[in-house]
Amino acid sequence: MAKNIPKVTPTFLFLFTILSFSTFAAAGKNQGLSRPVSPTKLGLKREKLTHLHFYLHDAVGGRNPTAVRVAEAPMTNTSSTGFGGVLVMDDPLTERPELSSKLVGRAQGIYASASQSEVGLLMVLNFDFMEGKYNGSSLSVLGRNTILSAMRELPIVGGSGLFRFARGYAQARTYTFDEKAQNAVVEYNVYVFHY
Ligand SMILES: *[C@@H]1O[C@H](CO)[C@@H](O)[C@H](O)[C@H]1NC(C)=O
Ligand SMILES: *[C@@H]1O[C@H](CO)[C@@H](O)[C@H](O)[C@H]1NC(C)=O
């Protein structure tokens, strides 16, 4: 039994003491909850404004849906606004209105029918970009989308990668809507401040 217990060597004890001490020292000195840091230390230079333009393809019907209903209320099917329905989406974003045009990213998130008086969606999603220098960077959207309005505006509340500290807005316009296939192409113009 005793054989399985590792021997505590003097070297181990020495290292352990040093490591614990430096950890406590760092914690005591400046590793509290918060401390000021200069923007340049994070590599943040001048804030810039970027305009992004792309088309979102949302297919609820058809053989390869990109948005699926995951929840509903007993009244959702009889509600004229689909109130209570919740969908999860993974919609492709393309450079041109055609689905076959260059893929620049994906819109991944949730939308829920949150209005009883009109078709109004609560949208919580990330635009995950895969084009050029923006590959791997994302923008987060939290907004209201009244899909029957000519133009809808949704706030951009944050971002990652090249879009760290992002804030701005997205304007959405329905480009085409195929009612039978429940398939929409939506044009997006996004204006975002970031570093
Ligand atoms: C609503 O309609 C869908 C599709 O027709 C059906 O699958 C679902 O069971 C219905 N839900 C309720 C609560 O009636
Ligand atoms: C984006 O990045 C991923 C992983 O870093 C890579 O596999 C992919 O080829 C890149 N796509 C483009 C279009 O550069």
Q: How confident is the model at residue 9 (pLDDT cuts 50, 70, 90)?
A: low
* Residue numbers of the domain that contains 178: 47-194
Q: In angstroms, rounded to a whole number, what is the distance separating the alpha carbons of residues 111 and 114?
A: 9
Q: What is the pLDDT of residues 90-143, one digit of tens each?
A: 999 999 999 999 999 999 999 999 999 999 999 999 999 999 999 999 999 999
pLDDT > 50? residue 13: no
Residue 126 lies in a domain: yes
What is the amino acid identity at position 177?
F
Question: Across-strand partners of 153?
Answer: 171
Number of domains the chain is built from: 1
d(CA 141, ligand 2 centre) in Å: 23
> Any residues with CB less than 8 A from the CB of 151 and at least 6 apart, and which?
171, 172, 173
Helix (H) or strand (E) holding 28: helix 10-29
Q: Is residue 148 part of a domain?
A: yes
Residue 164 predicted with pLDDT over 50: yes
Is 13 part of any domain? no
In a domain, 95, yes or no: yes
Q: Which helix (H) or strand (E) holds 129?
A: strand 121-129
Ligand 1 contacts CB of residue 74 (under 6 A): yes
Mean pLDDT of the region 156-163? 98
* Residue 184 is assigned to a structural domain of this protein: yes
Residue 2 lies in a domain: no
| Cβ proximity of 169 and 155 under 8 Å | yes
Residue nearest to atom 5 of ligand 1 (CA): 77
User: CB-hemisphere CA count at 13 Å for 128?
Assistant: 12
On whether residue 188 sits in a domain, the answer given is yes
| Domain of residue 113, CATH code | 2.40.480.10
Ligand 1 pocket: which of 75, 77, 182 to mutate (most atoms within 8 A of CB): 77
Total-model pTM: 0.83
Whether residue 90 lies inside any domain: the answer is: yes
Å from CA of 111 to ligand 1 middle: 18
Between the CA of 93 and the centroid of ligand 2 the distance, in Å, is: 15
